[in-house]
Chains A and B, each alone.
Chain A
Amino acid sequence: MRSALPFLLLAFLPACNRPAPEPPAPAAATPTADGETLFQQHCATCHMANGSGVPYLQPDIRRSAWITAEDPQPLLKLILRGSAAMGEFANSYENDMPPFEHLSDADIAALATRVRERFTTPPPSTPITPADVATARQ
């Protein structure tokens, strides 16, 4: 049996030798995870796992007009550019939303599709595609 020792040693490398994560190339066609996992990884920190937000600081997104809108482009621009895409609405809460443009088109498409499924009743029947995200980047 090959020794597992080298792999164990790798696991204990000092933290300072760990490289920064490589952001996925925007054109990657496959999401790195399912939409719910991406929501929990990137959105739940500020909007909470149940989407209820933080009073005065970060919005409750459970009935957000950005999410329920028929046209997904405003939502996608918001995810890509953060508060910079919100106009006056950004002044409604104390903390700014950072941009998530470093996520791939596929990840943002999966994420946004899941967000609309969770927080829109009835959920839109048409999923958001990576091509929609590419359009929003322009």
Chain B
Amino acid sequence: MNPRNLPRLALLLALAAGPLLAAASLTPDPDNGGITLPDGFRAVVVADKLKPLRNIAVAPNGDLYAKTRQAGIIALRDTNGDGKADDIQEFGSGGGTGIALHNGYLYHSTDDHVFRYKLTPGELVPTGEPERIVRDLPNRRQHSAKAIAFGADGQLYVEVGSPSNALGQPDRALGAKGQDPTEFLKTHGGYWRFDPDKPEQTQADGHHVSTGHRHSTSIALNPVSKKLFVAIHGRDQLNTVAPQFFTAEDNAENPSEVFHLLEDGADFGWPTTYWDPREKKRKLNPEYGGDGTKLAEPGKFPDPLIGFPAHWAPMQMAFYTGTQFPEKYRGGAFLAFHGSWNRAPLPQRGYNVVYIPFNQDGMPTGDYEIFADGFAGADKLESPGDAKHRPNGVAVGPDGSLYISDSQAGRIWRIFYQK
């Protein structure tokens, strides 16, 4: 090799390895981008003031892809390894929430369809038009985000939410009466499984995996147990519908956002029931005759593996498959909580990222702890519109850093561990 080419070769190697440089070489933001983290963890702001961001995915070379709620996908590349994105481009359109990388493709969902782009190795932005894999999913505005993930079977799992609070009539109104959910649940409130390679599939072409949920924007595959886990948004407004049974505080603390194993045939008990986190019991919704005390039929629906606090709003979830973080954080899942609105007049809560430990069998221990906090920017938050940031997406990078996206002010953090 010509010795004069050595400096150029060194530069090329450094550029290629930039995104993969060890966390020890990253310089954190002095204030960790405004959030609080456990001891030893630091954060660098990858990019800021982007559009409202939803879920994110990180490629094996460190390229980051972020869904925007109402526009395209933002692609980010850190070319010099300082943690901050230098090449930021937007492509595509349609808005939406779901995004996942699989077999060299970037899959993403709008509120109606699931598309995929073929990625060219080394290229940040895919060329060409996306291929539509699933089309015309139900969309009636409420709970229309379509989370996607891949199972151990390599199949594409897609959520279809329920455009409803608790299927009451009138919904969210005083004295709302529960409707028969049978027909409704045939096309809403569940997960469907599709062939990831076949274009133009309809909902009817998919396999109906699970039913009985209100809205789920959290689904991730545990690589040890090879099982999918989901978190589900609980109903709102118990005290609006039935003030004779529920106070404002009852409503602020009920029901749990529930965490479940996703298995074929699962029925998670909505709309007729909810999970009471204080008594750890499944109860009847007031729309279906509940009064805050009446229990659901025993054994009909599974108890949640974890009952998160009411109204925290679980968003993207990612299992930690890296080795950068200390042993305590390996094998479990990070879950972003968008933050509440329906706790008012009590202060809003959530607006954080929790860590959910899993055991050596790839099952949750039942515990969780807050990992990243302070996103709201205020201790006593009255309204979500006043929050500085709202965590939405989480993804683990190839070096084991954790990325978090923000739907409020368009910020992305890269969390890393420095001994």
Contact status of A40 and B172, CB under 8 A, knowing A19-B244, A94-B141: no
The answer, yes or no, to whether B342 is at the interface (CB within 8 Å) is yes
Contact status of A49 and B173, CB under 8 A, knowing A18-B244, A54-B383, A94-B141: no
B345–A60 CB distance below 8 A:
no
Q: How far is the CA of A15 from the CA of B383 in the complex (A)?
A: 31
Interface 1/0s, chain A 37-78, versus B by CB < 8 A? 000100011101110111111101000000000000000000
Which residue in A18, A94, A98 is a CB contact (below 8 Å) of B173? A98
Q: Contacts of A82 on B, CB cut-off 8 Å? A: 170, 173
Q: How far is the CA of A91 from the CA of B407 in the complex (A)?
A: 21
Which residue in B244, B293, B294, B345 is a CB contact (below 8 Å) of A21? B244
Q: Contacts of B411 on A, CB cut-off 8 Å? A: none
The answer, yes or no, to whether B144 is at the interface (CB within 8 Å) is yes
B345–A49 CB distance below 8 A:
yes
- What is the CB-to-nearest-CB distance from B97 to chain A, in angstroms, rounded to a whole number? 11
Contact status of A45 and B173, CB under 8 A, knowing A15-B291, A52-B386, A94-B141: no
Q: Contacts of B382 on A, CB cut-off 8 Å? A: 48-50
Nearest to A56 among chain B residues (CB) is B69
Q: Contacts of A93 on B, CB cut-off 8 Å? A: 141
- What is the CB-to-nearest-CB distance from A16 to chain B, in angstroms, rounded to a whole number? 5
The answer, yes or no, to whether A87 is at the interface (CB within 8 Å) is no
Interface 1/0s, chain B 327-359, versus A by CB < 8 A? 000000000000001101100000000000000
Nearest to B292 among chain A residues (CB) is A15
Count how many chain A residues have C-beta atoms less than 8 Å from C-beta atoms of the other chain.
33
For chain A, what secondary structure do more than half of its interface residues adopt (helix, strand, loop), or is it mixed?
loop
The answer, yes or no, to whether B193 is at the interface (CB within 8 Å) is no
The answer, yes or no, to whether B245 is at the interface (CB within 8 Å) is yes
Nearest to B143 among chain A residues (CB) is A94
B342–A45 CB distance below 8 A:
yes
- What is the CB-to-nearest-CB distance from A49 to chain B, in angstroms, rounded to a whole number? 6
Q: Contacts of A15 on B, CB cut-off 8 Å? A: 244-245, 291-293
B171–A60 CB distance below 8 A:
no
The answer, yes or no, to whether A20 is at the interface (CB within 8 Å) is yes
Interface 1/0s, chain B 168-192, versus A by CB < 8 A? 0011111110000000000000000
Residues of B within 8 A of A (CB): 52, 69, 141-144, 170-176, 237, 240, 242-245, 291-294, 341-342, 344-345, 382-386, 407-408
Which 7 residue pairs spanning A and B have beta carbons closest together? A98-B173, A48-B383, A52-B385, A54-B341, A98-B172, A16-B291, A94-B141
